[in-house]
Amino acid sequence: MAEDFRGFLKEMEETQEGGFVRVSRAVDTAYEVAAIVTKLEQARQVPLLYFENVKGHTMPVVTNCFADRGRVARGLGVAKRDLGQRVAEAYRRPIPPVEVARGAVQEVVREGADVNLCLLPAMKYHDNDVAPYITAGIVFARDPDSGGFNLSYNRLMLKGRDRLGIFMTTGKHLNSIFCRMQERRQPLEVAIAIGNHPACAIGALSIGPYDEDELGIAGALKGSPVEMVRCKTVDLAVPAGSEIVLEGEIDPFAREEEGPFGEFTGYATRAGQNPVVKIKAITHRQDPIYQDVCGGAHREHLTMATIPMEANYFRVVKGAVPEVEAVRVAAPFTLLISMRKKYEGQARSALVAAFSADIYLKHAIVVDHDIDINDMQRVLWAVATRVQAARDIFIIPRAQGPSTDPSSDQGVVDKMGIDATAKPALERFAPVNAVPPEVMERIRLEDYVGDFVLNLKKQK
């Protein structure tokens, strides 16, 4: 298994897991990379893209690194089918980080007048984006009470040579840390690491109790401790193998306009008054590679988030209801749950547990184990045929939810749970139509409609 981001890229190019494409033709950071990603997704392709020639910049850009679950799994040294199990195991048995004296990420150190964020090939993705954004930076901060590290992904708006606008979701851990520093009237020191091993990415996106060790989860995903190096200008440490690190602090009271920005919901968030990061130093490798995550409702953004999200939902919901068999994040703010219901009330218990697991959850649906939650047609069939609204749907009004939801009232939402299990039980419900299995096994389409089947195969 690769130890750092460069090793991961090398392995992906060698194995071609999910596809790896080097692009030699010059591309613009304004919209062109996003257009290429969009056109590939329309063709149902998500290769890792390595842009060697970026207009106005010396750094190459890579995107779609974690857009494919098989690619993430290979980067963690496991088969795709075992990815969920690996993440769940990392939650249970974290491996703490270790500090090292030197790291490749500090081969070049820029401070003072040498700090220039404009050297980074930050992207504009959509027509609503007000400025270039850094999207693949992991924000490191320290809890002022426990001293523990917090890792998170936050959108970062390029505002000048040494200033970034930052959006912090209300109710999430980084926002909580920032609010406590604000109460103390002190700036919050942060370090932003760009170009990270998939273990660090999934660890940073892990969802769980406030004091959970996200760096420990990253270490367990990688199978060895994450090596950390002390920052130059702030009292923090960062992964020694990252490509680029931005060191700075967030003023407790300064606010400036940030946004609009095209979010993962597929909608642009409105402009708002948000905090500002003052960058004090930039450190990087001799020839840094800039990692990007295409903003908006693109595959990488959604895949990255759902891998650890599903692992957390599964452990929380199954902890409350052992009969739960699987979960799936099917769309923004939406969870599907499969279970072997033993008695009435269990489905609702599973829904309540799911809502307690993460404030981002807005809609949750529980189905019986005979419904494949990866098949939305079957899920909707269960909703259509096993639900009576007055009996099986409940609403939690005016709850804290995602402020990125364009339908929310400043982050306040109504949450809905749907019990789409058969009542009173699957074995006592109306029988499902099925062609006899022995006939299905005996009939071969090639024997009856051979030319049609052959044409279908050619189309694929």
pLDDT digits (tens, 9 = 90+) for 232-287: 999 999 999 999 999 999 999 999 999 999 988 888 888 999 999 999 999 999 99
**Nearest to residue 205, comparing CAs of 274, 136, 257, 268?**
136
pLDDT value at residue 457? 67
Q: What secondary structure does DSSP assign to 395-444, as a single string?
A: EEEEEE--TT-TTSBTTEEEEEEEE-S-SS-GGGSPPPP---HHHHHH--
**Nearest to residue 30, comparing CAs of 5, 64, 67, 61?**
61
Task: Tell me the sheet residues that pair with 108.
Answer: 284
Give, as one character, the DSSP assignment of residue 270: P
* Residue pointed to by tokens 């939801």: 405
- Of 77-81, 190-194, 295-299, the range with the highest mean pLDDT is 190-194
- What residues contact 343, with CB distance under 8 A and at least 6 apart? none
Lowest-confidence region among 150-164, 296-310, 342-356: 296-310
| CA–CA dist 135, 123 (Å, integer) | 8
Give, as one character, the DSSP assignment of residue 52: S
Cβ atoms of residues 373 and 326 within 8 Å: yes
Which CATH number is correct for 321-428, 1.10.645.10, 3.30.70.100, 3.40.640.10, 3.40.1670.10?
3.40.1670.10
Cβ atoms of residues 131 and 276 within 8 Å: no
| CA–CA dist 288, 105 (Å, integer) | 9
Pairing of β 48-51 and β 61-63: antiparallel
Angle 286-21-459 (CA atoms, 0-180°, nearest 5)? 170
| CA–CA dist 198, 1 (Å, integer) | 11
* Residue pointed to by tokens 């072997």: 340
**Which has more pLDDT, 229 or 2?**
229
Cβ atoms of residues 279 and 134 within 8 Å: no
Q: Where are the domains of the chain?
A: 5-301, 321-428
- The encoded tokens of residue 61 equal 């850009």
- What residues contact 366, with CB distance under 8 A and at least 6 apart? 337, 338, 339, 347, 350, 351, 417, 418, 419, 420, 421
**Nearest to residue 76, comparing CAs of 199, 205, 218?**
199
**Nearest to residue 275, comparing CAs of 163, 152, 173?**
163
Cβ atoms of residues 290 and 258 within 8 Å: no
- What residues contact 102, with CB distance under 8 A and at least 6 apart? 229, 240
Has residue 304 got a pLDDT over 60? yes
In whole numbers, what is the pLDDT of the chain averaged over residues?
92
Angle 72-76-82 (CA atoms, 0-180°, nearest 5)? 80
SS3 313: helix
Maximum Cα–Cα distance for the chain, whole Å?
78
pLDDT value at residue 362? 96
SS3 352: helix
**Nearest to residue 225, comparing CAs of 208, 205, 203, 193?**
203
What is the pTM (predicted TM-score) of this model? 0.86
Has residue 460 got a pLDDT over 70? no
Query: Is the alpha carbon torsion for 325, 329, 330, 336 positive or negative?
Result: positive
**Torsion, CA 110, CA 116, CA 122, CA 127, rounded to 10:** 170
pLDDT digits (tens, 9 = 90+) for 166-220: 999 887 889 999 999 999 999 999 999 999 999 999 999 887 776 778 999 999 9
Q: What are phi and psi of 286, to 5 degrees?
A: -60, -45
Lowest-confidence region among 20-24, 137-141, 143-147: 143-147
Alpha-carbon 6 to chain mean position: 20
Alpha-carbon 201 to chain mean position: 8
pLDDT value at residue 459? 62
Task: Tell me the sheet residues that pair with 331.
Answer: 334
Cβ atoms of residues 386 and 422 within 8 Å: yes
Cβ atoms of residues 248 and 279 within 8 Å: yes
For the stretch 304-331, what's the b/e string if a residue is b when 16 or more beta carbons lie within 10 angstroms of its beta carbon?
bbbbbbbbbbbbbbbebbebbebbbbee
Distance set, CA 114 to CA 55, 217, 248 (Å): 21, 35, 14
- The encoded tokens of residue 118 equal 């404009």
Q: Which CATH number describes the domain made up of 5-301? A: 2.30.110.10
Q: What are phi and psi of 423, to 5 degrees?
A: -115, 135
